[in-house]
Amino acid sequence: MSASIEITDVTKRYGELTVLDDISLSIRAGEFVVILGPSGCGKSTLLRLIAGLEDVTKGSISVGERRVDTLPPGQRGVAMVFQSYALYPHMTVAQNMSFGLENIGLPKAEVQRRVQQAAATLEIAHLLGRKPAKLSGGQRQRVAIGRAIVKEPKAFLFDEPLSNLDAALRGRTRLELAQLHTRLGSTMIFVTHDQVEAMTLADRIVILHNRRIEQIGTPMEIYQRPASRFVAGFVGSPAMNFFPVESATSNGEMLTIQTGGLGSVGAVIRPPSRFSLSGASLGIRAEDVTVLPAGQPGIPLKAEVVERLGDRTLIYGHLTDGTKLTVEADGRSEARSGDMVQIALDTSAIHLFDAAGAAHHGEGG
């Protein structure tokens, strides 16, 4: 059984230090929500507030129809999976998974049923007799998830559960988590600073920054229509290219933006009537910049570093005024460091950011 989660005007302070400031978030029953942001932005604190491991300074948290922020952790109907696994080394896998259920006096037959069912779901039934020291990192993480599953919670809370795994295992475990969510249909909240985990797992992503929610949206909404310059620079690899705006004119339909190395760029963007150019910047992603065939005129770019990634090539270069620009080319690109290439922009994918960082998008952006 899954439940919705309602976080309303939640603030968390430690003395004079405000860690979360007026956070409101509605999570639907059965939804997989990823909380993404840089280190220190309050992601794990928010998760701990939901779990009851920290007290709310102001605001309320409800799970289903019940307010839970005044209840002890064990009565909230949620289960948390930690980054560190936190397994008992002297217990077997089965004992680690059953320990919490036995502590609340659940009948032995029911405990065994839940452990066996969770082990089958996670494909670790053959490991039930082993102790953690005899398990790999991925197997330990499955046990930690299994210990949460046996509680049959209304929601699962994951606090950077993949960060201790190597790259290949992280990829496999991401897939397993996505499959687990499909099988269980449970509400899941997953905290990470890794944008790949967020983009591949989430129904919706919540971007936390500077103690507040910066943007909420589906992975592609976050990527294609970032609400701010921070989101545009944080989500995406490589990060979005940014250029200071020198001047701009509008004919009512097309905004012509003047920048240094890019020169004059036309974009179908309609900024507010009182939009100020002071401190404004233009943004475009690397894949929205095209390397033109040899001999075709465009914007000159001198390649400094060429990074070959197999399916694509990233060219890190600079424009005639020295401004740096990253371009994504075909994996078969023959560009080399020191080459001068000609590029063109997809003007429908241009973003405009005001001095405060708020975004104004082109029609295709």
Judge contact between 360 and 269, C-beta under 8 A: yes
Q: 202 and 262: one domain?
A: no
- Last-in-domain residue among 227, 249, 270: 227
Q: 237 and 354: one domain?
A: yes
Question: Cis link prior to 132 (omega < 30° from 0)?
Answer: no
Task: Report the domain count for the chain.
Answer: 2
What pLDDT was estimated at residue 270?
Answer: 72
Q: 179 and 260: one domain?
A: no
Q: 133 and 203: one domain?
A: yes
How does residue 364 score in pLDDT terms, banded at 50, 70 and 90? very low
Contacts of 289 (CB under 8 A, 6+ apart): 241, 325, 326, 327, 328, 343, 344, 345, 346
Instruction: Enter the tokens of residue 4.
Output: 């919705």
Q: 172 and 273: one domain?
A: no
Smallest CA-to-CA distance from 245 within 261, 230, 258, 263 is with: 258
pLDDT tens track for 235-269: 999 999 999 988 888 776 678 888 877 888 887 77
pLDDT tens track for 311-349: 999 999 999 989 999 999 998 888 899 999 999 999 888
Domain hosting residue 75, numbered range: 5-227
C-alpha torsion sign, points 326, 329, 332, 333:
negative
- Last-in-domain residue among 227, 244, 279: 227
Instruction: Enter the tokens of residue 99.
Output: 């320990």
Chain position carrying tokens 């509680």:
151
C-alpha torsion sign, points 187, 130, 136, 86:
positive
Please state the rounded mean pLDDT for residues 290-296: 89
CATH of the domain at 75: 3.40.50.300
- Grouping H, G, I as helix, E, B as strand and the rest as coil, residue 252 is coil
Q: 91 and 130: one domain?
A: yes
